Amino acid sequence: MKTSLHLEAPNDLSVGTVRIEGRGQEIADWVATPNNRTFEQDNVEPGLYSCVITPAGVPPQSVFFEVREGVANTVILPSFSALSSSGGNTNFLDVETRQATEEFIFPTIERSVAEFRQQENTTFESITNERSPNVGHRKINMSGERKRISIGLSEENRKRESFDLFKGQPTLELYAGRLEIELPTDLGRDPWAGYRVRMSVAIEKARVERCLLPMYRGGTKITVAAPPFSPADLEFVIMPTDPKVRALVRALDAGSSAEVAAIRDDVIGNVDPATLLLKGADPWAALLVGLISIRFPEHFPQIGLAWADKLVEQVGWSFDAHVIRASYTLTAAGTTESGNQNIESIQGAAIGEAIASLAKAQMAGSPYYNSTNNLFSELTIGISDYLKKKEGSRDLEVVKRFDRILTRWHRELPLQRGAGATFTWFARDLDALKSLKILVPKRSSSGMLRHRDSLVIFEGQVSAGQIAIYGGKSNAYSGMHENYNSNAVAKDGYLEMPALRRAPGPADDPNRGRFGGHASHSGYRLSATFEPTESRNWVTINLSLEADRSRTVQLGDFAWFVLHPTFSPSSMKVTFQGSRATLRLRAWGGFTVGVWMPKAGIELECNLAEIEGAPHIIRTL
């Protein structure tokens, strides 16, 4: 029988390169999209192979697998998010069981690795980031600084043109240094109606940073990460859950010409651009295609000014739509034949229209995408150069309007920032504005958002590479709702939690007795350790859920940790890293922690006050 290979790249891969190597040679290298994820080949040499997946703008993940002789080998890779949740960048896949792990899991792989290393042109060391013994190591001292952080969501109040508390149902998942927030699609809202949601992130003694969230069809995912050597900072990425729309964001932010061509062919295909503006489509996908077509015009020649006009008709509430129209207005005028006697008036009229579009963009608020902000800057530079050359024949009203746009633009520059593909801005220092009449970021933030302004979905602490949860206020967001109807939570097993069907425990400790009453059961054990903090009124709690060798934990397996209601959030989805799922807290009193593992159907609970050696503040409060 032939030795063949059928490989499927991760099902959540948006756009990026996939490279397969083995037996000293490369057997595949292509730009993968959601519609082009598979590779097939007959007569493959048996042995150990590596597959390196590199999404646009994202660090790569590598998977090793063994091709067995004389069989049809089917390799279905886990989701990219599951691979990256392992805490490393290398995983190993058992072709027979289709289980992936961070460790060697089948008997011949150690021999195969040794052979693989001896092969010519091997890239094993570069993939696993192993260092040669001859390479020196330099010790890096990591900062012990800690800062309080909070994250909040608010939604626009049309009547007052201001923002109120967000009414959606986000779900949160925490890794050691990464927080993931999912906002499911709200079927009760029309995405074309200009419904705006704002996220605010406060970092103690650093800043308050805000952005408008695209509420993508299919859901929006926000990843907040703590850099390993910068405790004063947070990095966040905002992406659509739908891989096809995410491919557009990746292409706009960090895509190459080859990746954009693959998206055009495999994702967009022969779709008429006009269909992107239909009510059943995603308005943010239309904005993304408009921006990509400006950045890569050679791949989207069919999109032009007429389409941009319709885009403004549909999503004129967005800054981005008006900037796209301004760009296409100037592009259309720039293609006027040089022999046309009216070229001067055509270009002058186009400049006036483009300036009017930029003014409307500023009236619409802030951009969604960083690319739009950069495009705005490029257009103003081009228009400014044109007006200087036409100084003797300029329309003074047009010039005055443009000067107002530039004045506002330069005034707000100190507050502008970008987070990947997303445009963000800083909250301003009102004291500096009042006394010095200038806009500068507020650097004296307490790290706490006001609950009357935002639905505070997370309160915690950031240190180098770590994010911990704080005990919240009484009106903080609680992830544990008895009548939770979010589809995102339902698919993650939250609604199957037996504790939801039981009466809560005592008023001051509602989880006590609600999760079965046992800290260990069926090969799983829930425990906690404590660390002192700089304040005697607070203690750091390290929760650990560990599986023994009798249990098989696969990549992407998770558990729900349910905390005291005063935490924000009070329920957290935590993914296993190896055989352990951990959660870091900061608290000032004792309570019972509940755990629910949907896949295993197991629940556990641990009363922190009853742990031997628990601090006084945990045992007595």
Q: What is the pTM of this model?
A: 0.84
| CATH code, domain with 599 | 2.60.40
User: What count of residues does the chain have?
Assistant: 621
Lowest-confidence segment of 243-247, 284-288, 430-434 by average pLDDT: 430-434
Q: How far apart are CA 340 and CA 147, in angstroms?
A: 63
**What does pLDDT average to over the chain?**
85
Would residue 535 count as lying in a domain? Answer: yes
Q: Which of 128, 149, 173 is the C-terminal boundary of a domain?
A: 128
Would residue 424 count as lying in a domain? Answer: no
Listed in order, strand segments (DSSP E) in 111-219 are 147-157, 162-165, 171-174, 178-183, 197-203, 207-213
The predicted model gives 518-535 an average pLDDT of: 93
Reported as a single tens digit per residue, the pLDDT across 117-151 is 454 444 433 333 333 334 344 444 556 788 999 99
The predicted model gives 403-423 an average pLDDT of: 92
Q: How far apart are CA 595 and CA 602, in angstroms?
A: 8
Contact 263, 15 (CB under 8 A): yes
Contact 325, 311 (CB under 8 A): yes
Tokens at 169, concatenated = 């149902």
Would residue 240 count as lying in a domain? Answer: no
Reported as a single tens digit per residue, the pLDDT across 314-333 is 999 999 999 999 999 999 88
534 vs 50, more confident: 50
A 10 A CB-CB count for 237 gives 18
Using DSSP bridges, classify how beta strands 178-183 and 171-174 pair: parallel, antiparallel or unpaired.
Answer: antiparallel
Residue-number span of the structural domain to which 57 is assigned: 4-128
Number of compact structural domains in the chain:
2
Give me the sign of the Cα torsion angle 90, 96, 98, 101: negative
Would residue 105 count as lying in a domain? Answer: yes
Q: How far apart are CA 266 and CA 248, in angstroms?
A: 12
Q: Which residues pair with 36 in a beta bridge?
A: 33
| CATH code, domain with 84 | 2.60.40.10
DSSP state of 46: P
The predicted model gives 53-68 an average pLDDT of: 90
Quote the pLDDT of residue 102: 55
Would residue 121 count as lying in a domain? Answer: yes
Quote the pLDDT of residue 477: 55
Q: Please say if the pLDDT value at position 396 is more than 60.
A: yes
Contact 568, 545 (CB under 8 A): no
Q: Which of 106, 128, 150 is the C-terminal boundary of a domain?
A: 128
Sequence-ordered list of residues with C-beta below 8 angstroms from that of 565, at least 6 positions apart, any chain: 478, 480, 510
Contact 493, 173 (CB under 8 A): no
Quote the pLDDT of residue 468: 87
Would residue 575 count as lying in a domain? Answer: yes
Quote the pLDDT of residue 394: 67
The predicted model gives 94-117 an average pLDDT of: 53
Q: Which of 76, 102, 128 is the C-terminal boundary of a domain?
A: 128
Would residue 590 count as lying in a domain? Answer: yes
Quote the pLDDT of residue 58: 86
Q: How far apart are CA 388 and CA 383, in angstroms?
A: 9
Give me the sign of the Cα torsion angle 278, 282, 288, 293: negative
Quote the pLDDT of residue 130: 38
Helices (runs of H) and strands (runs of E) counted in the chain: 14, 29
Quote the pLDDT of residue 391: 72
Q: Please say if the pLDDT value at position 486 is more than 50.
A: no
Residue spans of alpha helices (H) in 217-304: 243-254, 257-263, 283-295
Rounded to the nearest 10 degrees, what angle do helices 396-412 and 370-389 cross at? 140
The predicted model gives 282-300 an average pLDDT of: 93
Would residue 50 count as lying in a domain? Answer: yes
Cis peptide before 615 (omega within 30 of 0): no
Q: Which of 152, 213, 224 is nearest to 185 (CA)?
A: 213
